[in-house]
Chains A and B, each alone.
Chain A
Amino acid sequence: MRWATRAGIHIDRAACAWLIRRDIDPDAEFVFLDDPTDLPADATPFDMRGVELGHHRGDCSFETILRRYELTDPTLWRIAEIIHEADLDDERYDAPEAPGLDVILRGLSMTGDDARTLAVTQAIFDGLYEYFHRQHRLGREPA
């Protein structure tokens, strides 16, 4: 399936792409649009204004996708808190990881294109998932 979002990806779009590939569509192909009106007819848009998989009721797109696809994995929701704070910074959650991740993503977008940001961040999100998964299972900080 094809998925489309705005070019110049930052934290929310990178995390959504990781989530889509991981839990919704392993063969997902991503299209990055310079102009949102160029949305291909066969592509599902995400993290764009006025689309279903966007920001709604104060949620970021990552949270919207979790709700829409009924993904209840607590580790994904812990990551959602980080993405929400890195993206919206409204202190809805206590996510001290967020400012660091925000800076890393901004730096990546200064040094490479969207394909590279996506490639680098997929490994980062895999690592975050593993860490918080172990933390959840152990009930303490994993070594």
Chain B
Amino acid sequence: MERVHTRRPEQRPDEWVLLSYRLPREPSTPRITIWRKLKRLGVAQISDGLVALPADARTREHLDWLADEILEAGGAATVWLAQPTSRAQERELAAAMADARAAEYRAVLAEAARANGLPTAERNRVLRKLRAELRRINRRDYFPPPERRAATEAVAALHADRKEDTAS
């Protein structure tokens, strides 16, 4: 199934920013902090200690600062700009990232569906929570899967004023 829309098909692969890093096993707190930050950024895990993001000013800056943070924690880190040598490799990376986001959007969709029948006050509470969750997912969504739109619409429809639109 072709679900990933790369930005410039049939051309040379785009540039990626890679962070190669190693952290001491102990203490575990910096390891966990870094792992959480990488997860939040939605990185593609290429191998143990090597992660990638499509390169732009924001992703480069995030990985640069993370590299500094790893160095400060007594680890080793280098940041690279690279191009996969083939479109196929790039598609594989992008597909893995899109699949990870799709799963997150599906979880939002499921929660929105469950909230649909709730009383207004409770539904609004879920609406606020899911809007925040969607924003978090959108920020790490570099290759939007179809689930993005479905989740966005399902969450918007939880609002009382928009419920009628979608029900009809």
Contacts and interface: CB of A to CB of B under 8 A. Distances in A.
A88 B57 CA distance: 14
Nearest to B135: A99
B64 interface: yes
B72 A49 contact: no
Interface in A78-131: 88-90, 99, 109
B67 interface: yes
Contact of A50 (B37, B58, B68, B135): B68
Given A56-B72, A89-B139, A90-B37, A49 B57 contact: no
B68 A10 contact: no
A10 B61 contact: yes
B64 A58 contact: no
Interface of B: 33, 37, 40, 57-58, 61, 64-65, 67-69, 72, 135, 139
Given A10-B58, A56-B72, A89-B40, 5 more contacts: A49-B65, A49-B68, A88-B65, A99-B135, A109-B57
A54 B57 contact: no
Interface in A12-31: none
B135 A55 contact: no
Nearest to B61: A10
A10 B37 contact: no
Contacts of A109: 57
Tell me which of A10, A54, A55, A57 has the highest count of chain B C-beta atoms within 10 A of its own C-beta. Answer: A55
A90 B39 CA distance: 11
Interface range for A: 10 to 19
A8 B135 CA distance: 25
Given A10-B57, A90-B40, A54 B69 contact: no
A99 B135 CA distance: 10
B57 A8 contact: yes
21 contacts: A8-B57, A10-B57, A10-B61, A49-B65, A49-B67, A49-B68, A50-B68, A54-B68, A55-B65, A55-B68, A55-B69, A56-B72, A57-B72, A58-B33, A88-B65, A89-B40, A89-B139, A90-B37, A90-B40, A99-B135, A109-B57
